[in-house]
Amino acid sequence: MELRVEGLACRRGEAVVLRDVGFVLAPGEALILRGPNGAGKTTMLRALAGLTPPVAGTISAPQEAMAYGAHADGLKAQLTVAENLTFWAAAFGTSGIGPAVAAFDLGALLDRRTADLSAGQKRRASLARMVLTGRPIWLLDEPTVSLDAANVARFAAAVSTHLEAGGSALIATHIDLGLAETRVLDVTQFAARAAARREADPFAEAIE
């Protein structure tokens, strides 16, 4: 499913952080969100995921087409990895957790409470949930935090499998994931405050 975003203005709290956001994400494509800390990557992903509805603009794909993987792992701490994944599979009507377990090498961890996992193990269990959603558009916020090199590669392979199946992914990350043929979207071009400053002072851009 294509995701077409036009004229999006996104707020965080009371402040409009981004405006005039526009891009097209085609099936089979990954788009990397870039920008320094505070540029608005999370803000954009939250708007697309429906957590903070945009102030203006249009998002072509319905909410049900998107799966959001946030900064937080979002696991139920007292449940085991298997119980967490089974819960998600049931919630999204996906049969079987096998492909998600294999993609993130979780076989040896299935009976462990997620509260007792290391940070990287929690991250892997959290990312496995994306596979279980069965949703075509993945929105991922710094997905590789806490992952070692082998697991960054596992994550990249899971994204590639998703893209090959006709899915797409919008990924905020500061690292090179090693994905083939990704496009990069620099969110600083959509900064609402810089635009407002430039409009107020036509010479501001020259001294920034």
Ligand X SMILES: Nc1ncnc2c1ncn2[C@@H]1O[C@H](COP(=O)(O)OP(=O)(O)OP(=O)(O)O)[C@@H](O)[C@H]1O
User: Least distance in Å: CB of 192 to ligand X?
Assistant: 10
Helices (H) and strands (E) in the chain, counts: 7, 8
* Residue 145: Cβ-neighbour burial (10 angstroms; 0-12, 13-18, 19+): middle
- 8 lies in the site for ligand X, by CB under 6 A: no
- 38 lies in the site for ligand X, by CB under 6 A: yes
Closest CA to 58 of 47, 42, 70, 68: 47
Give the interface segment with ligand X, choosing from 20-28, 33-41, 114-122, 132-140 (CB under 6 A). Answer: 33-41
Q: CA angle, corner 32, sides to 28 and 33, nearest 5?
A: 135
Nearer to ligand X, 48 or 97 (CB): 48
- 184 lies in the site for ligand X, by CB under 6 A: no
Nearer to ligand X, 41 or 162 (CB): 41
- 15 lies in the site for ligand X, by CB under 6 A: yes
Given candidates 35, 69, 136, 143, which one binds ligand X under the rule CB under 6 A?
A: 35
3-state secondary structure of 3: strand
Given candidates 12, 112, 113, 198, which one binds ligand X under the rule CB under 6 A?
A: 12
Give the integer Cα–Cα distance in Å for 162 and 166: 7
